[in-house]
Amino acid sequence: MTIRPALPELFVGLGVLALAALVGWATAAIPQSTYARISPAAFPWAITAGLAALGALLTIEGLRGGWEHDEGTVLDLPGILWLGTGLAANLLLIDGLSIGETVILPRMGFIIASTILFACTARAFGSRRFLRDLAFGLVLTIVAYIGFDRVLGYQIGSGIIERFL
């Protein structure tokens, strides 16, 4: 029994491999700093490796004939709306919203904005425990904030909670 390659899946895999090559090429151009604890190119190289691995797996899957498609799948509109709501809230809450001198929405900062994004994303994927998701999101975003702010020295949106850390 011969397996025919699934061309759409194969092309997606090859496209992700090409994207990995492009990101790797751009990452190689990042100047190396001798003063930083971690190279500025460390995370882009990790992303390049992840893209290359995913691209390779997708390409292999395409060569094996692709994956089965569920013919009864319909668009999950509520999930898309939850995800869109989380992204919009994140954009609005990190820096707030002002028109001229009038503050319409105060700056909440990275931790609150990303916690809400986490909970909305979990809901988009089917979680019904919003308060639990908020708690998990809060812990993860505090860890991420401390990692960026204290370890890497990179400011990512100070707000209400960040003042106390």
Q: What is the pLDDT of residue 41?
A: 80
pLDDT greater than 80 at residue 72: no
CA distances from 86 to 23, 36, 52, 54, 103 (A): 27, 34, 29, 26, 21
**Which pLDDT tens digit goes with each residue over 95-127?**
888 888 888 888 888 999 999 999 999 999 999
Q: What is the pLDDT of residue 132?
A: 97
Q: What is the pLDDT of residue 70?
A: 60
**Which pLDDT tens digit goes with each residue over 134-148?**
999 999 999 999 888
Q: What is the pLDDT of residue 69?
A: 62
What residues pair up with 98 in beta bridges, in sequence order? 103
